Amino acid sequence: MRVIVTGGAGFIGSCLLWKLNQKGITDILVVDHLGDSPKWRNLVNKDFSDYIEKEDFLNNVLGNKIEKPDMIVHLGACTSTTCIDATYFIKNNYEYSKELAKYAIKNRIPFLYASSAATYGMGEQGFSDEDEFTWKLRPLNIYGYSKQLFDLWVLRNGLIDKVTGFKFFNVFGPNEYHKGDMMSVIAKSFAKVLKERKIKLFKSYRDDYADGEQKRDFVYVKDAVDIVYHFIENPKKTGIYNVGTADAHTWNELARAIFSALDMPLKIEYFDMPESIRDKYQYFTEADLGKLRRAGVSHSFFEFDLAVKDYVDYLKSHDHL
């Protein structure tokens, strides 16, 4: 199998390379933009056939100058929830994805891509990935909106039976060290917890949520890439699917799991959420996995505490798979 993985040096992309290598797949063209990021380290111990920068790759695609692959897994995107350059998001996340999808569909190449749970906004419409609900979603930031635009483009053009999308929820795990503010709380807090023996969490600004009781669907990256790999093995299964656990946990529970994994007494300090994100903050997310299960995905997820412990144990001596 010859696979193209965009975003292959990134967080989920490089973990997918790890998974593919475990399965004996090494004929992989990795596409990314390395710039001055340290994420090149995610590629050092991976086995792949070639690497190309994302702009050069798209030019080759548009010029029909690439060797036809058996599959394209498009995970490359700007995932910042604080960047406000809408033009960049549209070009990088939406228009780039459209061009690559059109190439894949024209050449009958299975096309898998990353959407996001950020499309759900505040969750007013729930967290169903059924197609009829996708039209009703109201993302809170331009990142989520750029993902929503592409999902809607797929639906408007009747392509839902030709592509496979993944609405990733709060993914955490190895290889995210380069993401800065977009790292998981586990990754961002690990060193500080060891040094200061406390963790800092946002205060709540809603009466129905106590401090630290905001809930998220945290999904371990090893689970996430297992689900993606299921669809790599079954390319005729198309549609847009949630990738979460359907079992939300509070930030306080996450903190307890971290301290338990480190065998330290729990100490939480709550601090003010920046005003710039207070009206865009998701207080609850939880994936509806009904559609995923109907597609035949019977994957058993890591138990929450065990996933956190597995990652914390890893962080003690590593930062990337």
Nearest Cα neighbor of 141 from 312, 267, 26, 278 is: 278
Q: Which of 54, 98, 102, 179 is catalytic?
A: 179
Hey, what are 188's tokens? 């961002």
Dihedral sign, Cα of residue 175, residue 178, residue 179, residue 183: positive
**Closest by Cα among 227, 242, 230 to 131:** 242
> Dihedral of CA 315/112/70/97: which sign?
negative
Catalytic residue status for 179: yes
| Cβ atoms of 101 and 159 closer than 8 Å | yes
Helix axis angle for 304-315 and 221-233, nearest 10°, is 110
Q: Is the dihedral of CA 15, 19, 21, 25 positive or negative?
A: negative
Q: Which of 226, 192, 212 is nearest to 307 (CA)?
A: 226
Phi, psi of 299 (to 5 degrees): -55, 135
Residue 227 CA from chain centroid, whole number: 12
Query: Of residues 96, 113, 143, 311, which has the active-site annotation?
Result: 143
| Residue of 151, 180, 155 whose CA lies nearest to 168 | 151
Dihedral, CA of residue 245, residue 46, residue 143 and residue 292, to nearest 10:
-30
- Taking 3-state DSSP, the helix, strand and coil percentages for the chain, each rounded to the nearest 5, stand at 40, 15, 40
- 205: annotated active-site residue: no
Sign of CA dihedral 168, 245, 213, 200: negative
Query: Which residue(s) pair with 171 in the sheet?
Result: 219
Active site residues: 143, 179
